[in-house]
């Protein structure tokens, strides 16, 4: 995490101290590094360009769900990224951030007619279709507008990508995609619909994938399918390979390099002559953010030393939802000569599952100390809620010495103002 480093024993993001940010904005809050988003995007594109060469047409469609703040999407826009969206809300955010329709793909298993209509008007690059009824509805809506909707069908290749079951999507029995065995039939059906133009094939097999093999198996299946669809006369110019590249959350994680990934991509789908669309999310945003939190109380029971912090599962759901294990460090380095003790870090929410980390080794933490939950830039703020009537916490973007509040704290008073007691 090179944009987050210690300077005089205080954790900084780029050139700004996290202590200073906490004083200005209060805790808990998310803090992002602009440079880290840029580095992550540039590392991916340079690895692909080096291995594949310039002749390939590649679109990085940043997966907006991982971090959907418009300032973040705008950084990606200035790097020429496209976007992968899964709702009307994400589409509106993406357009507002400057990414044009011709660089947007629309994924998601339950698109509504309103979402389809809006996306058609925005002339998006591609709809990733997940069922025959969805195809029919899109065709009808496009026809009434006198348009043809560009589509790829999301294929479920029945591959177990590993990782937590809640983020593995490409095996039989999930709600996602159309079975690989039924793909030919689905494309034949689509080719007869008036409002549909077939442009591609799409897959997304899961998230936080740290082994190349599931990707290789899935991409080989995509390649076979493209050849057989072309044999049948279908025009396949795009392959959308989804997201899912894993990142290092802690020292025990191991992940392939992006150069190895690019070589595998070239081997499996490099000779198809297709535009290659990738939908990375956490690879771009994960290590670009931390969740800054304060210790409210230290509570010792017979079994555990609890550190109760002011961030909770409503602010950061990943540990409760996916058993995610994030490194947590002290913002001000404490005396290195002191022995570390193990703590269980929990939030104030009235749920046993509101545990942010089971075993955290820290040196003499005190009430009021600041902690940083690392690698919290992806699926952090974008998954937050107001459970237990807690406020939505702020997001701050740092660039060099400059810090900007890119989402202000949304208070309980503001949330209550949307409610009404009937007379
Ligand atoms: C269709 C689709 N594309 C891309 C992504 C991004 O995945 P990741 O953040 O693991 O790259 C997701 C995540 O769930 C997804 O569902």
Tell me the two tokens of residue 384: 């937050």
The 8-class DSSP code of residue 374 comes to: S
Is 243 within 8 Å of 207 (Cβ atoms)? yes
Distance set, CA 324 to CA 37, 185, 379 (Å): 21, 39, 11
**Interval between CA 208 and ligand 1 midpoint (Å):** 9
Q: Which of 61, 66, 203 to mutate to test the pocket of ligand 1 (most atoms within 8 A of CB)?
A: 66
Q: Residue 339: what pLDDT?
A: 83
Cα 375 from Cα 69, distance rounded (Å):
16
User: Taking the domains of the chain in order of start, what are their residue ranges?
Assistant: 4-33+286-416, 34-282
Candidate of 87, 201, 207 to mutate for ligand 1, largest count of ligand atoms within 8 Å of Cβ: 207
274 in catalytic set = no
CA-proximal residue: ligand 1, atom 9 (nearest): 281
Q: Are 365 and 330 in contact (CB under 8 A)?
A: yes
Residue 322 CA to ligand 1 centre (angstroms):
15
Cα–Cα distance, 203 to 130 (Å, whole number): 10
Helix (H) / strand (E) containing 296: strand 289-300
CA 66 / ligand 1 centre spacing (Å): 8
User: SS3 for 10?
Assistant: strand
Phi-psi region of 271 (alpha: psi -120 to 50; beta: other; left: phi over 0): alpha
How remote is the CA of residue 326 from the centroid of ligand 1, in Å?
A: 19
Fold designation for 34-282: TIM Barrel (3.20.20)
* pLDDT for residue 163: 64
The second-level CATH assignment, the architecture, of 4-33+286-416 is Beta Barrel (2.40)
Q: From the candidates 274, 350, 360, 375, which is the catalytic residue?
A: 350
Taking CA atoms, 38 is separated from 32, 96, 127, 260, in Å, by 11, 20, 27, 21
Q: Which atom of ligand 1 is nearest to the CA of 242?
A: 3
Tens digit of pLDDT for each residue in 359-398? 999 999 999 999 999 999 999 999 999 999 999 999 999 9
The sign of the torsion formed by the CA atoms of 194, 200, 205, 208 equals negative
- 282 CA distance to ligand 1 middle (Å): 8
**pLDDT score of 330:** 97
Instruction: Give the separation between CA 136 and CA 45, rounded to whole angstroms.
Output: 36
Q: What is the pLDDT of residues 274-309, one digit of tens each?
A: 999 999 999 999 999 999 999 999 999 999 999 999
Measured between alpha carbons, how far is residue 361 from residues 242, 310, 421 in Å?
36, 19, 48
Closest atom of ligand 1 to 285 CA is 9
Angle of helix 88-96 versus helix 70-78 axis, rounded to 10 = 60
Ligand 1 atom having least distance to the Cα of 128: 1
Taking CA atoms only, the protein residue closest to ligand 1 atom 14 is 207
Q: Distance from the CA of 157 to the center of ligand 1, in angstroms?
A: 16
Q: Which residue ranges of the chain lie beneath pLDDT 50?
A: none
Atom of ligand 1 nearest to the CA of 280: 11
Write out residues with Cβ below 6 Å of ligand 1.
63, 66, 84, 107, 204, 207-208, 242-245, 279-283, 378
Beta strand ranges found along 88-217 (DSSP E): 104-106, 126-129, 149-156, 178-179, 196-202
Mutate to test the pocket of ligand 1, among 90, 208, 281, 289 (most ligand atoms within 8 A of CB): 281
Q: What pLDDT shows up at residue 176?
A: 85
């Amino acid at each position: 995490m090179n944009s987050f480093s210690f300077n005089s024993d205080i954790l900084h993001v780029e050139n700004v101290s996290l202590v200073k940010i906490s004083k200005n904005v209060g805790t808990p809050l998310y803090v992002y590094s602009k440079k880290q988003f840029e580095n992550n995007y540039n590392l991916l594109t340079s690895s692909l360009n080096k291995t594949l060469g310039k002749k390939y047409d590649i679109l990085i469609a940043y997966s907006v769900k991982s971090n959907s703040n418009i300032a973040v999407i705008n950084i990606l826009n200035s790097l020429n990224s496209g976007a992968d969206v899964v709702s009307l809300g994400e589409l509106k955010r993406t357009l507002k951030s400057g990414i044009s329709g011709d660089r947007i793909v629309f994924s998601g298993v339950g698109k509504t007619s309103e979402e389809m209509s809006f996306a058609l008007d925005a002339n998006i690059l591609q709809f990733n279709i997940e069922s025959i009824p969805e195809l029919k509805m899109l065709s009808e809506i496009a026809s009434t507008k006198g348009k043809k909707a560009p589509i790829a069908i999301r294929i479920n290749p029945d591959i177990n990508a590993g990782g937590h079951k809640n983020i593995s999507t490409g095996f039989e029995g999930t709600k996602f995609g159309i079975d690989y065995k039924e793909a030919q039939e689905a494309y034949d059906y689509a080719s007869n619909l008036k409002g549909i133009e077939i442009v591609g094939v799409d897959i997304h097999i899961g998230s936080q994938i740290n082994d190349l093999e599931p990707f290789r198996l899935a991409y080989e299946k995509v390649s076979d399918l493209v050849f057989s669809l072309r044999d049948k006369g279908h025009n396949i110019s795009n392959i959308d390979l989804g997201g899912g590249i894993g990142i290092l959350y802690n020292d025990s994680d191991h992940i392939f390099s992006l150069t190895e990934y690019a070589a595998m991509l070239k081997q499996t789908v490099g000779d198809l002559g297709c535009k290659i669309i990738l939908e990375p999310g956490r690879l771009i945003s994960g290590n670009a953010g931390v969740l800054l939190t304060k210790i409210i109380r230290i509570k010792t029971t017979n079994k555990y030393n609890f550190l109760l912090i002011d961030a909770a599962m409503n602010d950061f759901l990943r540990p409760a939802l996916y058993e995610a294990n994030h490194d947590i460090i002290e913002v001000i380095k404490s005396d290195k000569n002191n022995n570390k003790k193990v703590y269980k870090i929990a939030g104030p929410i009235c749920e046993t599952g509101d545990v942010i980390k089971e075993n955290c080794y820290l040196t003499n933490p005190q009430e009021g100390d600041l902690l940083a939950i690392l690698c919290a830039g992806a699926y952090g703020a974008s998954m937050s809620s107001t459970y237990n009537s807690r406020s939505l916490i702020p997001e701050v973007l740092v660039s060099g010495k400059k810090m900007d509040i890119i989402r202000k704290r949304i208070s309980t008073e503001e949330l209550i103002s949307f409610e009404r007691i009937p007379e």
